[in-house]
Structure 1
C-alpha cells in the first residue's frame, strides 16, 4: 500500500487514463444480472449492479470500476467536513496490505480511498470512498441513480420489501476491538426512495417448495412492465413494498418478506442462466424461413391455470383438440409427416399463422389437396378450393378459447376469445386488424365479435417471457403493452394504439415490440446473393459516416430514426425492414386466393398492389397505389381492381341474392376460392 503525494498523482492519472481505447465501456450494462450483484467495483468495493462500468486488463491489473469511480474521482479533497484541517489524497491499495481502516465506518480500506497528506508524519486519517464522496450506482429497483450511504441508525421503510430492517450490518472496528453497527443503504433523495443493502442484493431468481409453486420465481419491480396490484399468493395480503417475486407464466406473485425473510430456509437462489423458466422463447429466429409457431407451441400447457401474460388457455379446451381439428376446415385434414419440398414445389404457408412450413416439419393439408393422390382430387365440387390449404401441426391443435390480458379487452375479466378459422364479418376476404401488432391478417384469429377485438394466432400465443440477442442473453424480457414508450429496436412510439411488446425484467434499459422481436436474424433477397444481416443503421454507417445511405429497394434514405435495417457488409447494401416482403405490413396476409366478381369472367387473384403510374383500377379508373395495400388482378386479361372496389362489387352482388343462394355460393353471394 502506498500514498500518492503530488509527485505521484500524475502517475495515477496516467495509469487510469492510459489509452482509453483499451477500456471496455459497457453501455447500458447488459451483463448477466447475477454478475451485476456479485461483481465488485475495484475502487469503491460496491457491487456493479446495473451501473455502466469500465474494465481494464493488462499483465499487472484486472480492474472493474463504476463509470463514476473510473472517471470522476478527484485526486485531492480540500477541507473535507470530517477532516477540515488537512487535505485528503486519493490513494490506492495495490498490495492488499490492509493497514488502513476508515475513520468513520471502520471498514478496512481496499481499492481506493482518501488519506491525509500528513500521514507520513502523525495523522493517519483515512476515509473510504463511500464515506468521503457520494458514490451513485444504478440499481434495477429505481429509474434514478442511488447514493450509497452508511449510517449507524437510519429509520426508513425499505422500498423493496416494505419493512424496516432491524438487524444492521456490522463492520469490525479494528482499533476498538468490537463490532460497530454501520448499515449500508441506497437512497434517491429526489424521490424519497430507500433500499437496504440486503434487498439490493436479493437473488434475481429463486426456487421455493414445490408444494407452493413448481416454477422459478423472478424478482420484479413495478415500472418494468408490471404493476403492484397483485395479491400475495402466500399470505393473501396486499402489496407491501415495490418488489415481489413472480412466475409470469402462472401469474403467481409473492411478497419478498413472505418468501425471503419470513422463511430464510424455504428458498434456494438459482442463477438466471440455469433457471428453468417455462415456455421461455429465445429470439431472434435464424431466418425468414423459420416459423416461430412450432417454438411457441413446443409444449402444450398441462397444468391447470398455467398461461402466458398475453393469453391463457381455458381448462376445458385442452381435451377438445380432435374436435377442434374438425372445425378449422370444412373438409377432412390429412397429416403429412414425410413430404419434403422439391425444387419445383411452391412454398407451403400455414393458413393459421401465415408463416412458412419448413421442408422437414409435419403438417396438415386438406383431403382434397393436390398433394394427396386420391380420387377426391378430381371432384368438381372441390377442384381449386383447397389446393393451398396447410396447417402446422401445432396450429391444427390450437385451443378453442383464450382469455387475453390485452388492455383493450382485459377490462372484462375472464371474457374469452374464440378461435375463428375465418373472420368474415367486415370483409369477404377474411381480413382483420390484429390488436396485438396492428397489421392486417387473413389467417386464424382469436376474436371477441361482441367487442370487435381480434388477435392473430401469433400475437395471441406469444409467451410470457423471452430472451433476445439484442439485449443480455440472461436478461428476461417480460410481456407488456406499449403505450407511449419507445421501442429500442425501431424507435417507434405508439400513442393511440396499444401493442404487445416486451420489457426487460432485470433492468430498465430495454423494451421491444413483439413484432420487432420476431424479426429474423438474417433474410435473403434477390437483390443480393448473400444473406442480409439485421444491423443498426448507426453501425451500418461506421465505414463512412458522411456517406448518404439508401435502401436498395425503394431508393429512399436510411435515417437512424428507423433504428435497424438489413444489410450486406460484403456488397455494401442496405434494405429497409418494411421493404422486404416477408417482413412488411402485409406479411400476415396469405396471397394467392381468388375471387370472381361481376363484370369479369375470369377469377381475380389477390396480389400486392404495385406503385406504377399506369396501374389503374378497371372499376373506378383510379390509380392503385402501393402504400401497404392489396389488389386483385387477372394476369391473363390484365384486369385489376382495388380491394375496396372488389368489396363494393361483392356486397352489391350479395344484396341481390336470396338467402338460399347465399348458402350455396358463399357468404357474399359470389364464388370465393379461398386456398
Structure 2
C-alpha cells in the first residue's frame, strides 16, 4: 500500500496468496480524509487499478506514484501518496532531527539528489541545507539521532551516519537478520547491536502466542547468543524467540512458516511436521538432497510416506509459490489432455476439430513428419495422427498433462498448443532453444511476460538418469554450473549430489538432446555419443570439417564412423518446423522463414559467408533468396 520495504510485525496479509502485505495503519486507512496538505477539498482513497500511476507524481514529496494506494482530489487533480497523507504538510525545518546544526529548506522541485542519511539516489522533492549543501528525503530528515528501542533497553541507539562503524559490527540486522544495503540504521556501539530503521520504527513483539508455531508463549531474547533454530535447523547468533519450558528456540523469520503448501519438486501437497515419524529416519530432502535431521521441523507428504523437505528449502522463493493452503480443500483439477472417443481414438484438447487415431507401429524412419508438440521426428514411436489433416502427436506427447509443476519455477505451468505460423516462434527460458511447438507457461493472463518451457525440458524430471554418469542428477536452485556435455556455463543445470562428483553438471539443453537423428550427410541414423575422458585419437566433423573435442558430446554413425558436432547437426532451429515465419526482436523490420537445408548444395550464409550446416536454416522474406545459418547471423 505504501510501497515501503522492511519487515511487517504488526499488519495484515492475504491468507490466500500471501503476496499482499500491509502495515496496520495503511490497511486501516479511511476511504476519505481531510488533509492539511490540501485543505480545499477532501481526498478519496484509490487503489492502483483505479488510476494510471505511470503518469502521476505525489504533489507532496514529488515521487512517482507506483502500484499501491493513493489519495486523490478529482476537483483539483491533487495526488498524495499514503505515506505523505499521514504526515503534516511539508515546510522548512528549523531544528531537523537528522541535521540539527542548521535549518533545512523544503525544495519543491523535480531533480535528482543523493540523501545524506540513507545514501540512496532519488528523484523528486527534497529538503536541502543551504550551508552544507546536503540533501535529505522527507522521512530521513525527520529521523531522531537517538532512540530508545524496546528490544535493547540497556543503551540508546544512535542513527548511523558513518559507514566506517560497520567495520566493527555485524553486517546484518540483529532483529530481522537481513543484510544492510544502505547506511541508514540505528546502532549501539557498546553492544554491537544494529537494526534497520524499519525494524527500529516497527519492532517485533516482545512476546506472542501462536499455536501454529508453538504450544506455549514465545519470548524475544534480543541479545547475541549462538543457537540452532528448531524450525529450520540453521544456526543463528542474534535475537531468537524462546520457550524456556520446552527449550524451544526459533528465528524471528521462522515464526510464521506456512502449514500446508505446494512445492515445485513434488506433485502433492506437503504439510509442516514438527517431528518426522519413525519411518522417515533416513529421509533425504526432496530439494537439496541432504539428510533431514528429525530434531527440526520439516515438510512431509501424507501420500508419499518417505517424501520430506527441509523447512528452509520448502519455503524458498523459487520452490514455493507463496500460497498458504491450510483450511482450503484440495481441488482436483482436470489435467487430462484428451477424451477417449473409441478404441485407440481420442479427441485432444489441442485439435478438437478432428479425432486422432493411435498408430502403434510407427512409420518409416526416412519420413520427415514431426510431432506438433515437441517438433521431433516420429520415427518408430507410437503416435496419434489426425484422420483428416496432417497433425501428428507422439503417444507420450499426447498424454502431457494440461497442468503440471516443474522444479525450475515455483508457479504451476499450463500447457498451450502451438498457435500457428502467424504467431512465429518462441524462446524456451530453460534450454535457450527456439521452438514453435507446445509450450508450458507460468501465467496464462500475461503470456508475454510468462516463463516459458518447451516439451523436451518439461519431460526432464529429477532424478534424471544420465547414461554416461553412474549417479542420478538433481536440479539445485540458484547454482550455475559448467555443463559437462557442451562446456558452457548455464543457469539451469542438473547436478550430481554425491560428494565425489559434486562438480558434475548437465544443462537441460544437453539433457534433452535427441539420442538419434537423421541428417543429409549420412543415409544412416546418427547416434548421440558421450564424451570420452581420454582422447583416443583426433575426430573431425564431417559437416564443418573442423576438429571435435572427444571430451564433449557429439553425434556419430556406427555404420560409417562419421562424427559430427551437435551444433552442426541440430543448429538453432531444430525444434522449428520448416515453413514457419517470424520476426526477431532486435530486428523487427525483417521477416524470416525457417526452411529445410535439404538441397544438393548447401546455400551460403549472407552474413558469415560460410556454407549453412544444420538441417534447418532461415531465409529472408524479401523476395530474394538470402540465407542465414544461425540466429547470430541475423
TM-score (norm 1): 0.38
Q: Which has the higher contact order (CA 8 A, sep 6+)?
A: 1
The structure in which a higher percent of residues are helix is: 1
TM-score (norm 2): 0.40
The structure in which a higher percent of residues are strand is: 2
